[in-house]
Structure 1
Amino acid sequence: MSDAVPVEGFVSDGYDRVREVFQDLLRDGRETGAGVSVWRDGREVVRLSGGWVDAARHHPWRADTLVQPYSLSKSFVTLAALVVVRDGALALDEPISRYWPAYGVGGKERTTLRQVLTHRAGQPRFPAEAAGLDLLDDAGLRESLARAAPEYVPGTSLGEHALTYGHLVDGILRAGAGTTLGEVFNERVRPALGLDAWFGVPDDALERVADLEYADPEWPSQLHAAPWLRIPDGTLDVERANSRSWRQAVFGAVNLHTTATAMARFFSELTSEDGPVRALLGPQLHADLLASQVTDFDEVFGTRITWTLGFVRDRGKIAKGGIGGSAAWWSLKHRHGCAYLTRRLDDHSRAAAIAAALDDDLTVVGED
């Protein structure tokens, strides 16, 4: 491997193949900055950091480097919603209009929180009327969703709510519980789970954030999900994504900033009956979080998929990926939690290669 590509970290016995694959990705130029972590039996058995955090290639990726993993963020929006359900302020199967009357129009009168969390609320994208809104106009974007008619009768079809997921949950939390997505996550979910993860990166952590870059300048227009990502303008603009204002805002569907170690550890504890996720949610909601809720053709993914309340699930894994190539998963076969987080926006072949080195299959984790 070229000495010009920085790599640091460790692999425990039996995980040498993961290091080899990661080094190959960096050497071949398929990766320019990423972190890999694997947790098993309560300890980190792989921690690898490679490449750079910046386009100028001055600063190497470190174990504590934060990066935006796009839709992996949605799983933590789900957790924030379920914390408030456990409090009794919301219910999964009550009409949202009970809490948010302005939302209950145009065919959304009976839409439920469960339908939102399982991507069946009929609002997989922002309406055309939101096209002129700024990316960070939270109130305007929420209100556009409240006014809009759904694209299909809620509960009758499936399509990942690619950009709208966080704004829908935030609107429900504001109306039904007098709080916000950012407050619930940062004040309750993040501390309870011990996560190095942020909706709204604090000042003292901004220097740890990696800059995003395109593998190909045409990448945004080539995505299967492109039609669902056009409004508001700028969600795939790396100059905007790399700005301080974006990193310190809350755009729940996509802009969590976190580390590979944090995500792998989270997934390694996800199913544990004495773990922090179950302690946070209680036994019933923990079971609901992990259980298959719907299996159907997902229009945004472009394939048939099974959703839990916050994850993709199949016989081999419970997982979530993000457009651009980041992914994290719990292997039902091997009982390990894994994460591959990248700043180089491309397909999921790099994460899939790491998964294959672990004898895992990452089929269907992203949005492209």
Structure 2
Amino acid sequence: MPVDLRTDLARLLDDAHAAGGDPGTAVCVVRDGDVVAEHHVGTRGDRPGSLPWDAATLVMTYSVAKPFAALTVLDVVAAGGLGLDQRVVEVWPGYARAGSPKAATTVRHVLSHAAGLPCFPPGAADVPFDDRDALVALLEAAEPVHPPGEAVAEHALTYGHLCDELVRRATGGDLADRFAALAAEHGWDLHLRVPPAERHRVADLVALDPGWAGDYLADPRWGPALGRPAGLLDPAVLNGDRFRGTSFPAIALHASARGLARFYDDLMTPGGPVATRLGPDAHAALTTAQASGHDLVLDRHVAWTCGLQVDDDELGMGGAGGCSAWWSYGRRHGAAYLTRGLGGPDRAEPVWQLVEGTTGA
């Protein structure tokens, strides 16, 4: 029986909010440039008088950010400033000491989570999250957990700093600034660093379970990957202007659902803005598998493009708190689910099942 996508998405989100499971949520689906379904519910915060969530609301999305760090590096590749198979040490000499296996690391290895640096070293636990130079220096000194290109392991927090340093070394500019120009050019409401004038639109995060952060930190895989530097699982830190004004490109994308859905629709439009901007080689690197295997952090098989996860159904990325955005191969649309309620990474599953299973989209 056909499903009315708009109505059923609204009912799904409204019911979850009424049951106390989602304090603020949004979903959007875009096909061929048109919004075919959109709904938002809840508020931007928990204090009395908090504004309702609307189409302009931004929220921090954790690893949903990673494709945009990758996109920015690929924009430099397309402009001739880097080569995908260029060794990192050619532009960043301090990245590897003589004799280190890191010397073989390529730009493609970094972008496809095959560089072997999924965690900042233990010393990062004592480094402020916004001390970019100190964190980059720790990455320079670190040895990979596997030879570059011989395994995959999601670079949970390190990804953005590796990408940012590549952009800086190749262009002299900052990754977040370059991405901001890209986003503005194409009308994507997406921010790797939130300008002061836009911070009033950002929803406050809240842990749905008091043990949410502790569960991650106690996990032998996720604890090192997400716990160094400290504080990046703490809503009190993430909700502050200090974090919102910091470029931490592995996780600090602040996005609207419509902005994400529009990006994924643009990403896969033949001859569209992303394909045109990147050219065929860089666009293929972003949208097709470049490395695959049993991911040492995610503990499952993953096929990584230069920035995204890909399988037979979709191309996209989810985040630790529950946000997710994707392109659907079957339905030929871009979609996004955003929430300010921090919970498990599979919280978008009911939305995905409805969006991808409906015959009314």
Deviations 1:118-170 (A, max 9, x none): 00101001011222111100010011101111121111111100000010011
Distance in 1 separating the partners of 2:5 and 2:212:
36
Question: Residues 303, 46 of structure 1: CA spacing in aligned structure 2 closer, same or farther, 3 A cutoff?
Answer: same
Name the residue aligned to 1:158: 152
- The answer on 1:134 being equivalent to 2:128 is yes
2:88 aligned partner, one-letter code = I
In the TM superposition, residue 206 of structure 1 has moved relative to its aligned partner by 0.8
- The answer on 1:278 being equivalent to 2:275 is yes
In the TM superposition, residue 23 of structure 1 has moved relative to its aligned partner by 1.4
1:303 aligned partner, one-letter code = R
Name the residue aligned to 2:115: 121
> Residues 41 and 53 of structure 2 are in contact (CA less than 8 Å); yes or no, is this contact kept in structure 1?
yes
Distance in 1 separating the partners of 2:198 and 2:169:
31
Deviations 1:42-85 (A, max 9, x none): 21011211111112253211110010101010100001000111
Name the residue aligned to 1:76: 68
- The answer on 1:221 being equivalent to 2:214 is yes
User: Please, which of 322, 326, 335 is the counterpart of residue 325 of structure 1?
Assistant: 322
In the TM superposition, residue 350 of structure 1 has moved relative to its aligned partner by 3.4
Distance in 1 separating the partners of 2:357 and 2:246:
34
Determine helix, strand or coil for the equivalent of 2:36.
strand
Distance in 1 separating the partners of 2:57 and 2:271:
29
User: Please, which of 165, 169, 174 is the counterpart of residue 175 of structure 1?
Assistant: 169
Determine helix, strand or coil for the equivalent of 2:29.
strand
Name the residue aligned to 1:56: 47
1:205 aligned partner, one-letter code = E
Determine helix, strand or coil for the equivalent of 2:102.
coil
In the TM superposition, residue 86 of structure 1 has moved relative to its aligned partner by 1.0
> Residues 90 and 177 of structure 1 are in contact (CA less than 8 Å); yes or no, is this contact kept in structure 2?
no
> Residues 120 and 224 of structure 2 are in contact (CA less than 8 Å); yes or no, is this contact kept in structure 1?
no
Instruction: Kindly indicate which of the two structures has a greater share of residues assigned to helix.
Output: 2
User: Please, which of 341, 346, 357 is the counterpart of residue 344 of structure 1?
Assistant: 341
Moved over 6 A (4+): none
- The answer on 1:195 being equivalent to 2:188 is yes
> Residues 119 and 158 of structure 1 are in contact (CA less than 8 Å); yes or no, is this contact kept in structure 2?
yes
In the TM superposition, residue 283 of structure 1 has moved relative to its aligned partner by 2.1
Where does the alignment leave 5 or more consecutive residues of structure 2 unmatched? none
> Residues 5 and 37 of structure 2 are in contact (CA less than 8 Å); yes or no, is this contact kept in structure 1?
no
Determine helix, strand or coil for the equivalent of 2:276.
helix
Where does the alignment leave 5 or more consecutive residues of structure 1 unmatched? 1-11, 362-368
User: Please, which of 79, 83, 94 is the counterpart of residue 87 of structure 1?
Assistant: 79
User: Please, which of 33, 47, 52 is the counterpart of residue 24 of structure 2?
Assistant: 33
In the TM superposition, residue 291 of structure 1 has moved relative to its aligned partner by 1.1
Deviations 1:72-123 (A, max 9, x none): 1010000100011111111111110001111022321111110010001010
Deviations 1:224-255 (A, max 9, x none): 52331111111111111001011011001000
Distance in 2 separating the partners of 1:54 and 1:16:
25
Name the residue aligned to 2:143: 149
Superposition TM-score, scaled by structure 2 size? 0.93
> Residues 114 and 291 of structure 2 are in contact (CA less than 8 Å); yes or no, is this contact kept in structure 1?
no
2:349 aligned partner, one-letter code = A
Deviations 1:14-63 (A, max 9, x none): 43221221112111111110111011232101121111111225321111
Distance in 2 separating the partners of 1:164 and 1:44:
34
Larger relative contact order, structure 1 or 2 (CA cutoff 8 Å, min sep 6): 2
Determine helix, strand or coil for the equivalent of 1:268.
helix
Name the residue aligned to 2:180: 186
> Residues 6 and 39 of structure 2 are in contact (CA less than 8 Å); yes or no, is this contact kept in structure 1?
no
Determine helix, strand or coil for the equivalent of 1:48.
strand
**Root-mean-square deviation over aligned CA pairs:** 1.6
Determine helix, strand or coil for the equivalent of 1:355.
helix
Distance in 1 separating the partners of 2:282 and 2:346:
33
In the TM superposition, residue 348 of structure 1 has moved relative to its aligned partner by 3.6
Determine helix, strand or coil for the equivalent of 1:265.
helix
Distance in 2 separating the partners of 1:349 and 1:24:
18
Distance in 2 separating the partners of 1:191 and 1:20:
33
Aligned sequence identity (%): 38
Determine helix, strand or coil for the equivalent of 2:209.
coil
1:254 aligned partner, one-letter code = I
Name the residue aligned to 1:5: none
Aligned residues: 349
